[in-house]
Amino acid sequence: MGTTQSTQRRWGAKDVALIAATASVVPLWSHWLNEQHQVVQKAGEKETEPYPVGRTAEANVDGSPGNEKEWVLYKPTSAKNLAQGFGTTFAYLALLDALIARKAVDQNSRFFILHTLANIAITVASAPDAARSLLAPLDEPRGKMSILPVYLIAGLFFYHLSVFKDVPKDEWVHHILFGGGICGVGLANPASRIGNALAFFICGLPGGIDYGMLAAVKEGLLDSDREKTVNTKLNVWCRSPGLTMVAYAIYVAWRHTKPKPISGMPAALVAGLAFLNGQYYMQRVVANTAVKVGAPTC
């Protein structure tokens, strides 16, 4: 009884209001960051580094040059852009950490809560692009798409490694492999719908539910077996299939859209890491649940 009352005192309506308030600024933040990262490029020009747009300008009927089309892209092109992206991300995470996550019972719960809050922001920023990407993968892959999710994912991983103590070795491997590999390619290329679909499934909505449940278990608000059962279903029916769809959508976009959202080896790297991440962590979750709870059901 004492533990439950203590938990109730620690978490309340004020925390819900803070979470809602911090989530509500994400669309404005995303819009501002896009304005800072905007690059206007004429069709047919080469990108600064390293991939061509792959689209030619229009021509008049008589063959004379017509009106050149322009692409509005969003990508970091300077150290200032990177400072804006990572600086605001670190400030946002530090604010969430100070106001909400540090009230947790221990460091693990603190990170779970911070991860959940970051995933809420990632979901808000990436969901519109993710829906458009998967519903219409052959549509123009660039335009007014949020650059924020890739900064949030990379920033969260770096914040974890730099601010938290005694981070397990497997977390270092995860953050460097998936954060460094996928986010590195994401920052080297313009923001794309397929990139935000990847952010939505690899770290957005499924991750937010997962880490929210882990935090609830730590805080004494949810039974551990219940968390494992729900997390198994989440991975089997949402996260892993979503990442598999994204991996295939990257291939489809690479083969059939112009300009390509991502080209050649980077496309293969990101698609491969997305598929590997979904399958590997689904396997781990299912095996863990089977051993500790019993065979999961549909």
**Does residue 102 lie in a domain region?**
yes
CA gap 89, 218 in Å, rounded:
26
Domains in the chain: how many in total? 1
Side-chain-facing half-sphere of 84: CA atoms under 13 Å: 19
**DSSP-assigned letter for residue 61:** T
Is residue 46 in some structural domain?
A: no
Residue 56: its pLDDT value, please? 34
Q: How many separate helices (H) and strands (E) can be counted in the chain?
A: 13, 2
Angstrom distances, CA of residue 43 to CA of 71, 204, 236, 246:
6, 33, 42, 27
pLDDT at 97: 96
Contact 197, 149 (CB under 8 A): no
Q: Residue 109 sits in which domain range?
A: 2-38+75-292
Residue 179 has pLDDT above 50, yes or no: yes
Average pLDDT value for residue range 39-63 = 48
Query: What is the SS3 assignment for 215?
Result: helix
pLDDT band at 183 (very low <50, low <70, confident <90, very high): confident
* Range name among 61-70, 168-177, 217-226 with the lowest pLDDT average: 61-70
Q: Is residue 51 scored above 50 in pLDDT?
A: no
pLDDT in tens, 14-35: 999 999 999 999 999 999 999 9
The enclosing H or E element of 73 equals strand 70-74
Report the range of poorest mean pLDDT among 3-12, 107-116, 218-227. 3-12
pLDDT (mean) for 196-220: 94
- The stretch 268-272 carries a mean pLDDT of 87
In a domain, 61, yes or no: no
Whether 51 is in a domain gets the answer no
User: Per-residue pLDDT tens for 98-156?
Assistant: 999 999 999 999 999 999 999 999 999 999 999 888 787 666 555 678 999 999 999 99
Q: What is the pLDDT of residue 266?
A: 82
Q: What is the mean pLDDT of residues 195-224?
A: 94
Q: Which two tokens stand for residue 22?
A: 């911090």
pLDDT at 269: 86
pLDDT at 52: 37
Q: Residue 160 domain-assigned?
A: yes
Q: Is 44 part of a structural domain of the chain?
A: no
48 lies in some domain: no
CB 129 within 8 A of CB 197: yes
- Inform me whether the pLDDT recorded for 59 exceeds 50: no
Amino acid 254: pLDDT? 80
pLDDT digits (tens, 9 = 90+) for 76-102: 999 999 999 999 999 999 999 999 999
H or E element, residue 71: strand 70-74
Per-residue pLDDT at 192 exceeds 60 = yes
The burial of 266, by beta-carbon neighbours within 10 Å (0-12 exposed, 13-18 middle, 19 or more buried), is given as buried
In a domain, 58, yes or no: no
List alpha helices for 25-145, DSSP H: 26-36, 79-99, 107-135
